[in-house]
Amino acid sequence: MFNPSGRKGPVLILAIETATPVSGVALTKSGRLLAEINIQTGNTHSERLMPQIETLFALGGASPSELKAVAVSIGPGSFTGLRIGLTSAKTLAYAWSKPIVGVPTLEALAYGCPAGNGWTATMLDAQKGRVYLALYRWQNGRLSEVWPVKIVAIEQALQDLADLPGPVTVCGEPVREYREMFTAGNGKVVPAPEHAIMPRAACVAFLGMELFQAGLAVSSAELNPLYVRRAEAEELWEKRCGGRT
């Protein structure tokens, strides 16, 4: 943990979001958005991320020396995207001597999809017809976790959500792919509007600030991704090699 004295004064946060095909960076100052860039990059995060950050500081009228912390989306999500985002965030935090804050991707997604005092479910593609699923509840303007992230088939996810005692808003990329399945139900499971489907770097920054002020920032060496499951390449290697390393 970092010295709590560093939490005093204006809180400038650089946030990085690369867990999905959208490469996003944002600068916030004490809960106010200064600048944000979100680009649909596919799997080319490594080519775009550093130029995005350089442009971001220029747009926000700030410099790395003013930062209190670097916030980064830690997953689950694209293994390649997460590696790029975390490596970049750790490198910058180390170079600038700043603490780092890990923000769960599905929580950041829920933060950008408020549902009054109701439920918000977040999903990301886990491949092979499965999704990463988590459930959150908005109460009195604050977000709390109801279900921790799990991997389930999309059909099971929809059934679990339909069994809730009230309506639930669902956001995440699978909403686009399976929209017909969402709209075919009894109306309790409601797809989020298009603008709230994908995670935003600004939401990573806002949550990152809350975690930073709660004293949960760490050094770059201490932060780990939230993969939930191993990369498919690792699973294939174990099957082919019988677990040998």
Backbone angles phi, psi at 71, to 5 degrees: -110, 140
User: Higher pLDDT residue, 138 or 34?
Assistant: 34
Please report the pLDDT score of residue 238 as a whole number. 54
Please report the pLDDT score of residue 5 as a whole number. 46
- Does 225 map to a domain? yes
**Where residue 206 sits, what CATH number does that domain have?**
3.30.420.40
Residues 136 and 187 in one domain: yes
Contact 186, 94 (CB under 8 A): no
Per-residue pLDDT for 177 more than 80?
A: yes
Q: Which residues of 196-222 are buried (b: 16+ CB within 10 A; e: fewer)?
A: bbbbbbbbbbbbbbbbbbeeebbebee
Residues 138 and 168 in one domain: yes
Full residue range of the structural domain in which residue 89 is found: 4-105+200-235
pLDDT tens-digit map of 33-52: 999 999 887 666 677 899 99
Per-residue pLDDT for 215 more than 60?
A: yes
* Per-residue pLDDT band at 158 (split at 50, 70, 90): very high
Residues 89 and 171 in one domain: no
Please report the pLDDT score of residue 183 as a whole number. 74
Per-residue pLDDT for 14 more than 70?
A: yes
**Is the whole-model pTM more than 0.75?**
yes
Give dist(CA 124, CA 106) in Å, integer. 8
Place of tokens 């600068």: 27
- Does 243 map to a domain? no
pLDDT tens-digit map of 69-84: 999 999 999 889 999 9
Residues 98 and 204 in one domain: yes
* Per-residue pLDDT band at 245 (split at 50, 70, 90): very low
Give dist(CA 62, CA 65) in Å, integer. 8
Task: Supply the mean pLDDT for the chain.
Answer: 88
- Does 244 map to a domain? no
Residues 54 and 33 in one domain: yes
- Does 53 map to a domain? yes
* Six-digit token string for 108: 């950041």
Q: Which residues lie closer than 8 Å to 109 by C-beta, 6 or more apart? A: 122, 124, 171, 172, 198, 199, 203
